[in-house]
Structure 1
Amino acid sequence: MPYGENDIRKTQLDLSEPPESVLEYARITYGETPETRKQAIEEFRDYIFDQEQCNPHRTDDAFLLKFLRARKFNIPKAHRLLCRYYSFKENNPHLHRDIRPLDLKFIGDDDVLSVPPYRDQHGHRMMIYRVGNWDPNKYGVEELFKASVITLELGILEPRCQIMGGICILDLKGLSLNHTWQVTPAMAMKMLEFVTKSCTMKIEAVHVLHQSWYFDMMYSGVKPFLSQKARDKLFIHGDDMESFHQHIDPKYLPTRYGGSQDDVNFNEWLEWLKTQQFIVDEMRSLGYIIDDADLAIEPENNKNVPPSESGRSVDDDDSSSSDESIYFTDCEDGDQ
């Protein structure tokens, strides 16, 4: 396995230091070493204050490192991503603020979204959508969007995931006209904006399976707004599993896609979330609501385990506040 052992079988985030092979990948790809990391974080923090374009609610090392890794330690690009991240939040508070993640179990009940505990052969996390299982008469596409944002916010807490990124498997078997009606042009553009310009997760590839003409119709409307870089990450396989397996080794896929691994329900992640104080604190700081009465935290998990907590707040007089920041919209467009 080129980038770290794929030995995680439990439904949990790996918050530990990445394996040496992953750190070596980061060093070769964009020159990350302990020394360059420390220097880049300090320069990035100063750059944020000097530019005065956005006011993040935290500027500790661990938080800023997510943005630097997402843009390969290019500080101006990391800063643009930071501004767009907060701008998206301000413009779409209904997608993240005052939402109770534990109330989204119906997504798991219908098996619409899942994140396996195992990774592909390159060490990427995988998000799998089974759109045909979604009943638009029960809940709208916005609920899926909320669950996706939560999943990405959780996943990017993994240092390994920050470096290696993730892939999306879009299984469109059963997609109907009723589904496509839910995805309005405005919603499609909002999703596109989030994925390509505002998301801290590096999306390395999107694999489309079992698509029909409904997808072709939707894609034709979105394609002109995609950069060439984004188009190059999209792979449309239809029912051709052999084509799909050229990208992802079947050893790292669920059995329904010709692999040998078990499926994992979205609700298993929600159950695990309830047991981790650090994860609960992180989600609360982002505006999500998790009631103490819903928690099941064991004593050994009742502690913070962030990698680094140095840094300063933009507003030194209110550095402890978890409220969302003030945003500015003059940052340049994206490069995901």
Structure 2
Amino acid sequence: MAISMKHEIRERMPECVLDDPVGDVEASLDLDGIPDDVREYARTRLGETDETKSLMVDELRELIYQRGDFEPLSMDDDYLLRFLRARNFKLEPAYKLLENYVHFRERNINYYEGVSPTDLSHIGDADILNVYPYREQTGRRIITLKLGKWDPNTTPVDELFTATLAVLEAGIMEPRAQILGGVCIIDLEGLSMTHAWHITPSTVSKVIEIMVTSFPYKISAIHILHESWIFEKIFTMFKPLLPARYKENCYFHGDDLSSLHKHIESKYLPSVYGGTRPEYSYEQWFISLTRDPKVVKQMQLLGYATSGPYDPNEKKTAALAEGTSN
């Protein structure tokens, strides 16, 4: 294959390892606290201390006022802090990231305004996009994208962007996610030319904006499974646009799950990836979003039409009623 397979693990920097016993599953967001080991990780890897946070948030806020290039959704400390963490407390890069984020929202407001995340549950039902209600061994969330299960004829690519952004916007509310970043598994089993035809240069541009330039979420590793020559064709559009750090953190495993387990221990993976965890429905995340008033409030600030609590039985009842009427 033309793509270089990275089956060996490079010498790794010390990671933040959390106690996450198997069976400790909770589909909710931790908005209140930062574990001590994550706090130490932030200090050593990001240069984050109480003094640094206070100083840099004030400097970023002052820079926004001085330049007047854009108007953020919020000037609160916690909101600005996520952009500083995403750029390791470097002022100018954090400012640029926030500016890019504001402009991305303006250009793609249809991904936010009036969108109810619970209305996107069909994407989870199709097992295209998922977030596991547990973390891997370094304390990071795992997001999976199974492109081969995506039917472009019934789910437009813009719906995938909308759902992905809703997941990321919710996830980035967690302080530890802002510090540690997340892990992404892209499963390409079943990928066909039909999928390739729907991945246009415009689609590639938006993916790069979300991954690299315009969203305050750090992806610590991208794991590609079941890639084929079709993916190679698609990847040629992305590769020139990816910074070196993303290329270095992108791992290609083919059909070799043992290669994946060198990076994510099997006990933190579901059985479909050779792990010991059961499958969990993406719908649990929707339930969590609407049952936490703090999450609902922040999602509403972003423009989402989020209300709650969400009752999944309502969807089932409506589906049964529709089937009966037909």
> TM-score under structure 2 normalisation?
0.87
8 Å Cα contact 1:4-1:20 kept in structure 2:
no
Residue 209 of structure 2 corresponds to residue 220 of structure 1:
no
CA distance in 1: counterparts of 2:39 and 2:290, whole angstroms: 30
2:19 aligned residue = 5
Residue 31 of structure 1 is aligned with which of 34, 47, 59?
47
CA apart distance, 1:101: 1.1
State yes or no: 1:143 paired with 2:150.
Answer: no
SS at match of 1:50: helix
Please give the alpha-carbon distance, in whole angstroms, between the structure 2 residues aligned to 1:262 and 1:116: 10
Deviation at 1:122, TM superposition (A): 1.2
CA deviation after TM superposition for structure 1 residue 291, in Å: 4.4
Which runs of no fewer than 5 residues in structure 2 stay unpaired? 1-14, 312-326
Deviation at residue 5 of structure 1 after TM alignment: 2.6
CA distance in 1: counterparts of 2:185 and 2:142, whole angstroms:
7
Answer whether contact 2:183 2:219 (CA < 8 A) is retained. Answer: yes
Structure 2 counterpart of 1:332: none
Choose from 14, 32, 38 the match for 2:30: 14
Counterpart of 1:72 in 2: which secondary structure?
A: coil
| TM-superposed deviation, 1:281 | 1.1
Report the AA paired with residue 145 of structure 1. F
Deviation at 1:214, TM superposition (A): 1.0
Give the TM-score normalised by structure 1. Answer: 0.84
Inter-partner Cα distance in structure 1 for 2:298 and 2:257? 38
In the alignment, which of 115, 132, 142 is matched to residue 131 of structure 2?
Answer: 115
Give the 3-state SS of the residue equivalent to 2:17 in structure 1. coil
CA RMSD of aligned residues (A): 1.5
What does 1:186-201 correspond to in 2, within 5 Å? 186-201=202-217
Q: Which aligned pairs between 1:194-209 and structure 2 lie closer than 5 A?
A: 194-209=210-225
User: Are 2:269 and 1:234 equivalent residues in the alignment?
Assistant: no
In structure 1, the partner of 2:193 is: 177
SS in 2 for 1:261: coil
Tell me the residue number matched to 1:328.
none
The residue identity in structure 2 corresponding to 1:169 is I
* Aligned equivalents of 2:71, 2:193: Cα separation in 1: 42
Shift of 1:57: 2.1
Task: State the SS of the aligned residue for 1:115.
Answer: strand
- Write out the 4+ residue segments of structure 1 that deviate beyond 6 Å after TM superposition: none
Match of 1:60? 76
Equivalent in 304, 308, 312 of residue 288 of structure 1: 304
| Equivalent residue letter for 1:3 | V
Amino acid of the structure 2 residue aligned with 1:23? R
Deviation string for 1:113-154 (max 9, x for gaps)? 110111111111110112222222211121111110000000
Between the aligned partners of 1:20 and 1:222, the Cα distance in structure 2 is 37
- Greater relative CO (CA pairs within 8 A, separation 6+): 1
Distance in 2 (CA, whole Å) between partners of 1:158 and 1:3 is 17
Percent identity over paired residues: 40
